[in-house]
Structure 1
């Protein structure tokens, strides 16, 4: 993203300037400057990572909200138009199903009965 690129370029420029400045410095001063630059690099990296995580979290939240709205709409649409099922385009997932047609309990009972027979 633009902010990340801008911060990275600014730090790289600052690093090059520090490198040039260090040529005439005593060894101890060079070590202190290098330490400060390393600390700044780590801090900026952590800040950028936190911002990226926050953006991902916000994006996920918006996606979840949108998906809930779509599911609620499809459910309402299915009921209003008296559909038994509405299938999704991807892998034929059921977007809406008349709950009176739910056979989950029957299937679970049959699976449990079959499992009990094999024990």
Structure 2
């Protein structure tokens, strides 16, 4: 009786799988190349241009402060032979403090730039994810995988690549806003 139960279970599993495939033939697995979506998405260019403009401005502020400090250092080097010991110590302390403040400011600016870059990238990724989710629902896909070129999809039939179609729709939606 045990052998009969085993074979009945095997037949039931085969029937279940066949029924699932027959009843749900549209359960296609497809993928998009995330890197191509990010690179080809028109909003990426807009967001990156805004980010680069802001980063350039912030870095220019640091460069300006550094230039001022270097000019003060040159003046100090020229005039230090005329200064008293007390004046030398005071000027060195002032220059050292100013350099430390500039370094701290530069680190804060770099951190701000990194956070702005992360925020800009996340905005783009959120747009893409939202669009792909709605696209998948609309076209009744069971799953849409995201390939990033780092090995998470080693092979897929080209027919399963929705990147071009999704990118066109994403850009059309962006331009319509």
Measured against the shorter chain, the TM-score band is 0.5 to 0.7
SS at match of 2:141: coil
> In the alignment, which residue of structure 1 is the partner of 2:121?
63
Distance across 1 between alignment mates of 2:97 and 2:152: 52
Distance across 2 between alignment mates of 1:49 and 1:9: 17
Match of 1:50 among 102, 105, 108: 108
Please state if 1:81 is matched with 2:139. Answer: yes
CA-CA distance at 1:72 after TM superposition: 1.1
Distance across 2 between alignment mates of 1:17 and 1:50: 28
CA-CA distance at 1:43 after TM superposition: 0.9
> In the alignment, which residue of structure 2 is the partner of 1:97?
none
Q: After alignment, is 83-92 or 28-37 more displaced?
A: 83-92
Q: After alignment, is 75-84 or 56-65 more displaced?
A: 56-65
Aligned length: 93
Deviations 1:38-62 (A, max 9, x none): 0111111111211221222122122
Please state if 1:29 is matched with 2:108. Answer: no
Judge conservation of contact 2:62–2:105 (CA < 8 Å) in 1: no
Please state if 1:39 is matched with 2:110. Answer: no
SS at match of 1:23: helix
Distance across 2 between alignment mates of 1:69 and 1:55: 21
Distance across 2 between alignment mates of 1:46 and 1:33: 20
What TM-score, normalized by structure 2, do the two folds share?
Answer: 0.48
The Cα RMSD (Å) is 1.7
Distance across 1 between alignment mates of 2:71 and 2:106: 18
Please state if 1:3 is matched with 2:91. Answer: no
